[in-house]
A and B are shown apart, each in its own frame.
Chain A
Amino acid sequence: MKTIAQFAIGYEQLLDADSRVCGELPPFADDADQMRRMYEMMVLCRLFDTKAINLQRTGRLGTYAPCTGHEATHVAVGAVMRPEDVLCPVYREYGTQIWRGVTLTEILTYWAGDERGCHFAGPREDFPWCVPIGSQTPHAAGVAMAFKVRGQARCAVAYIGDGGTSQGAFHESINLAGAQQLPVVFVIVNNGWAISVPAAEQTAAETFAQKGLGNGVPGVQVDGNDVIAVRKVMQQALDKARSGGGPTVVEAVTYRLSDHTTADDASRYRPAAELEAAWQREPLLRTRRFLEQKGWWNEEREAALRKDCTTQIEAAVQGYQNRGTPGVDAMFDHLFARLPAGLSEQRDIARQYGSGEAH
């Protein structure tokens, strides 16, 4: 039998777990400001995560999905997307969202069970968080189709997890993106675990990047804790998409250092040794050591950064705690542009009984 098609998956890592440069660095890695800015955002995300978990533990926030461990991937994607691009997130990619202008207050408002958190003041065309797993990927394909229909040089980016790649919607989306050469990048954040199911039990595929190949979409795997490598790979994928070269599947290999959500207890299913080993590869220290080696970072900067982040986070906490209740009309106000007559009758009942009884 002769071979009629061959495929390969590339792997990119430029900064290893010990912060050693292990490849040719792209130009932005020589820019102290750009590198510092990414590190600063990563720290903000980590501190925000800690705060949000504490708010949940003390009954001031609903279930929250932490991002600890994923910061390099999230921040790098945010750094290379353009403002006019559109993001279709899952629910923990705060680093990308904050970079794009979603506020900490909006994130907290969402997890406080209030739809107003999805009314982004910043990226007006970005999708809000998506809970039904995988169902955001066709939205990104559709957004990219709109860009193609209108001849706009814009890109859509969809996030999905390792577990999400088992959904039909994911495959249907990358298949369409390939067939129509749509300007979209699918970022698979492989953090090792889909709640309690390890990636190795999710699929027999050697990589998640190759999930694109069967649909005619090239894939690349990148060290998702290496902010330089993720940014470089994403830049290439977006440049290609923007210039009509079609979609790419990017697998960012990282690790979920937290529970799945605050409603989860990962110690029930995850070996402690695995978690301990993963902490040795985590992205913040790796990036900080690189900055320090370059002479771009020191203890004073770190202290100032943490102080500034804490101030921002405290302001955000004030913001969502002072937001006031949405009011019962809100259930009806945004359902349709034009509320059907029967629903205004139900709205009257809701008004009469108000916000309901506390539990």
Chain B
Amino acid sequence: MPRVTLVEGINLALARALADDPDVVLIGEDIGVNGGVFRATLGLQQRFGKMRVQDTPLAEGLIGGMAVGMASQGLKVVAEIQFMGFLYPALDQIANHMARLRNRTRGRLTCPVVVRMPHGGGIHAPEHHSESLEVLLCHHAGLRVVCPSSPARAYGLLLAAIRDPDPVMFLEPTRLYRLAKQDVLDDGQALALDAALVLREGDDVTLVTWGAMVHDTLRAAEQLMQEKISCEVIDLSSLSPIDHDTILESVAHTGRLVIVHEAARNAGLGAEIAATVAEKGLYDLLAPIVRVTGYDTVMPYFAQERAYIPSVARIVDAVRQTLQDPS
């Protein structure tokens, strides 16, 4: 079983999909001979040829639009947006066409597209390279949004995304790309979409998070255990649709909820999760819900990015806050 990083897990899944299905085609900027700026497509053009792994002109809007056209012909397109800050030009095509084609043609034409993009900061990248823009995608009906947090989950979820008959936005946490290695069996097994994962069971507080923040949250949970505070950690994994049942079930058990995300707080996904728990699980709550998020500021240049990204200390303090005696 190969020990791989998250980006290598993605590479394994892409190679598997290309080998298994002649309809799978990869498109993007610098994904060919260069293997992508993060090397997610390393060696794939050499192995599968220039028609299966295509370097596109430098135009994200075009990538979104040509993916729609190719997918309407039944190709399974895996498009790469080089950094999430460059998503905006492609949003027109993703929101106006990719997300709607099945619906507006009453199922006559469909869009089996995966749009892969790096997500979040923490790797000392230039400006516009570190954004967490998941809500821009989650707000649109017709899209699934997925964010893996480990090499094995990246492999299994990407295979699931490629095999899904509808568009899936696949957010790859940049600071996890090479953070750690994990044994990943390249067996072609996909993981379930639309499902959250309970990564750590606990009794006192439920922590919901996704992407790179999963690791900081698990570290916080570990630290809190030394104070005899038992945290349940949920990796949301599917950002749209949200697996609210798993969250509600956990909150019913713990009575407390802390939501951790790197994206800005205002109208962030944490608000959606908190609102749903307030609607359906309010009487299970023993304390107010707390959100630990990026600030409602512009993502700072990398010299300050660690001040923006929620720290383990902030998560730990938020958990302690939910356990304070209100009297």
Contact = CB atoms under 8 A, between A and B. Distances in A.
A176 B55 CA distance: 11
Contacts of A172: 57, 59, 61-62, 65
A315 B315 CA distance: 67
B146 to A, nearest CB: 12
Contacts of B54: 145
A176 B166 contact: no
B106 interface: yes
Interface in B276-300: none
B122 interface: no
A132 B91 CA distance: 13
Contact of B57 (A127, A169, A176): A176
B149 interface: no
Interface in A107-137: 115-116, 118-120, 124-125, 127-128, 132, 135, 137
Contacts of A145: 54, 66, 69-70
Contacts of A334: 102-103, 105-107
B51 interface: yes
B75 to A, nearest CB: 5
B311 interface: no
A32 interface: no
Contact of B59 (A142, A149, A175, A330): A175
Contact of A142 (B65, B106, B110): B65
B147 interface: no
B34 interface: no
Contact of B194 (A115, A128, A142, A341): A341
Interface residues of A, number: 45
Interface stretch (B214-222, B238-246, B257-265): B238-246
Nearest to A148: B51
A334 B108 CA distance: 10
Contacts, number: 144
B117 to A, nearest CB: 18
A141 interface: yes
Interface string A314-342: 00000000000000001000111110111
A132 B103 contact: no
Contact of B62 (A128, A141, A146): A141
A355 to B, nearest CB: 18
A343 interface: yes
A342 B96 CA distance: 22
A144 B94 CA distance: 19
A146 B69 CA distance: 8
27 contacts: A115-B104, A116-B106, A118-B105, A119-B105, A125-B72, A128-B104, A128-B105, A132-B97, A138-B61, A139-B66, A139-B68, A139-B72, A141-B62, A141-B66, A141-B69, A142-B65, A144-B69, A145-B70, A149-B25, A149-B51, A168-B89, A169-B65, A175-B59, A176-B57, A176-B59, A334-B105, A336-B102
B142 interface: yes
Tell me which of B52, B61, B92, B105 has the highest count of chain A C-beta atoms within 10 A of its own C-beta.
B105
A168 B102 contact: no
Nearest to A178: B57
A335 B62 contact: no
Nearest to B103: A334
A124 B89 CA distance: 29
Given A127-B72, A143-B70, A156-B69, A335 B57 contact: no
Given A118-B108, A146-B70, A176-B66, 18 more contacts: A119-B106, A124-B108, A132-B96, A132-B97, A135-B96, A137-B65, A138-B65, A139-B66, A143-B72, A145-B70, A146-B72, A168-B61, A169-B92, A172-B62, A176-B57, A335-B142, A337-B165, A341-B194
B69 A143 contact: yes
A225 interface: no
A343 B143 CA distance: 13
A79 interface: no
A65 to B, nearest CB: 17
Given A139-B68, A142-B70, A176-B56, A340 B102 contact: no
B304 interface: no
A212 to B, nearest CB: 15
Nearest 7 pairs of A and B residues by beta carbon: A142-B69, A138-B65, A146-B73, A142-B66, A340-B241, A172-B62, A139-B69
B-side interface size class? 35 or more
Contacts of A205: none
A97 to B, nearest CB: 14
B241 A342 contact: yes
A135 B97 contact: yes
B64 interface: yes
B250 to A, nearest CB: 17
Nearest to A146: B73
B109 interface: yes
A143 B242 CA distance: 33
Contacts of A124: 108
Contact of B102 (A127, A137, A176, A337): A337
A337 B110 contact: yes
B142 to A, nearest CB: 6
A333 to B, nearest CB: 8
B154 to A, nearest CB: 21
Contact of A175 (B57, B89, B96): B57
Tell me which of A120, A138, A147 has the highest count of chain B C-beta atoms within 10 A of its own C-beta.
A138
B67 interface: yes
A140 interface: yes
A223 B192 CA distance: 56
